[in-house]
Chain A
Amino acid sequence: MKNLLVACLAGVALAGCGLPRDPARTTSQVSGGVLKAGLVQGPDVEADRAIILRLARQLDAQAEFQTGEAHQLVAALEKGQIHVIGGGLPAATPFKSHLGLSRPAGRLSGSPEGEKRVLAVRAGENGFLLALDRAIAAETRGRGQ
């Protein structure tokens, strides 16, 4: 338990030095530049657009949106042509193993089982994913109030 606490404190401290980093440097590419986002057309586009805009603001970047079909967006993400996908990815997306999935951003509209909705970054971009998770937390908290 003590170890756990120490690690948490260390984690908070380390977060200040920019850890974890991204193997493909997404965060540094986006910061102060352009955040390229792909949206899967669907009822959750607006909610995810708000999250992505908040992420862009946090990174001092301009958000650029394109819409497309999931397959094509995942391929673009894997090549690093876009940085984030939103708009209605289910938490159990079949692309799961090719993506870095965010924490749940809410319910997936139109899912009868009340499935969770997530956003995705390129696999392994852990620093960028943490930034996205923070944006999601801030956005969902903001909406709750």
Chain B
Amino acid sequence: MTEPAPNLPSDVQEAMRKAGRLAWISLGFQLSIVTVLALVMGGSQALRTAWIEDMLSLLPPVAFLIAMKLERKPATRRFPFGFQRANSLAFLIAATALTAMGALMVYESAMTLAKGEHPTIGSVRWFGQEVWLGWPMMAALAYSVIPPVILGRMKLPLARKIADKVLHTDALMNKADWQTGLAAILGIGGVAFGLWWADAVAAGFIALSILRDGVNAMRVAIVELTDGAPRKLDSAEVDPLVDQITERLRRQHGDVAVQVRETGRYMRAVVGPPDTPHLPEEHARALVGDDEGWRLIEVAIEDRRSRRDA
């Protein structure tokens, strides 16, 4: 028998469905923003950067949707544990995208300031009038700010509900998007007043906070992929549930070794004897053979009876 995807409580299922819908809506808006910004981009370096960031922010919702689809598949002979780790991998992708966005922005603003580059923004011809391109840029950016504010706020409580770090990172990406957009509006406004450095300074401040969010998320993603203890949704601190689970398992089984790790949104705990960290060598050799016996370090026999005292 292969393992089916884990059962979820109905309110969590409902929240997952909502999250999926939000991810699709995000993609739709994000694509429209990419298109609108491309139309007014002109030769502006600042707006080109904003555009690349918007392209990057397509990654988290895409990763989230693919991971969610995979995760529901039952285990197969080739994937005996199912696909829960797809979520961990998607988290790493989303976190990397966020970090890349922050790093790119920090670099761009630092270079602009270091070189003392004065941003040149030209004009377009609309209805027989030469219009400074800065104004339509600000309007396009104002449009690009609204959807991520709303979507990000809707995603945060859902991410908590379904314990989804990808969705949480996606919400952080939305925050990064609207803050960048707002910074760019202020920056172009500054440029209109002849303050050539306004754009780079505004973007630089936002970029540092995006970079910090991204690096934090990446740290947690790497922790998760190296079987670290489950972390809180929004920080690298160990989830207090880990201590609670450990303590309650010890209450049931006495002085045992408890290992808790995270596979995607799920937690897995292994209870072992306190004095034997790995499978005894002779047992392993009996199962695998003399040459490669050292590779088998754990055989877990799981206790899946329901317990009343838990």
- Chain A residues in contact with chain B, CB under 8 A? 3-4, 6-8, 10-12, 14-15, 19-25, 99-103, 122-127, 129-130, 133-134, 137
Contact = CB atoms under 8 A, between A and B. Distances in A.
**Range of interface residues on B (Cβ < 8 Å):** 20 to 34
Given A126-B121, A126-B191, A20 B140 contact: no
B135 A101 contact: no
Interface stretch (B8-16, B112-120, B236-244): B112-120
B307 interface: no
Contacts of A133: 122-123, 130
Interface of B: 43, 117-123, 125-126, 129-132, 134-136, 138-140, 142-143, 191-196
B193 A11 contact: no
A74 B140 CA distance: 33
Given A11-B135, A126-B192, 8 more contacts: A4-B140, A14-B192, A23-B194, A99-B120, A100-B118, A124-B119, A129-B123, A133-B130
Contacts of B119: 124
A44 to B, nearest CB: 20
A125 B119 CA distance: 8
A15 B132 contact: yes
Contacts of A3: 139, 142-143
Contacts of A15: 131-132
B118 A124 contact: yes
Main secondary structure of the interface of B (DSSP, over half): mixed
B188 to A, nearest CB: 9
Contacts of B142: 3, 7
A123 B194 CA distance: 12
13 contacts: A4-B140, A7-B136, A11-B135, A11-B136, A19-B193, A20-B192, A21-B194, A101-B122, A102-B122, A103-B125, A129-B120, A130-B122, A133-B130
Given A3-B142, A19-B192, A14 B118 contact: no
A3, A12, A137 interface centre (most CB from chain B within 10 Å): A3
A10 B132 contact: no
A124 B43 CA distance: 12
Nearest to B193: A21
Contacts of A23: 118, 194-196
Given A101-B43, A126-B120, A126-B192, A137 B125 contact: yes
B84 to A, nearest CB: 43
Contacts of A103: 122-123, 125, 130
A139 B195 CA distance: 30
A10 B130 CA distance: 14
A27 to B, nearest CB: 10
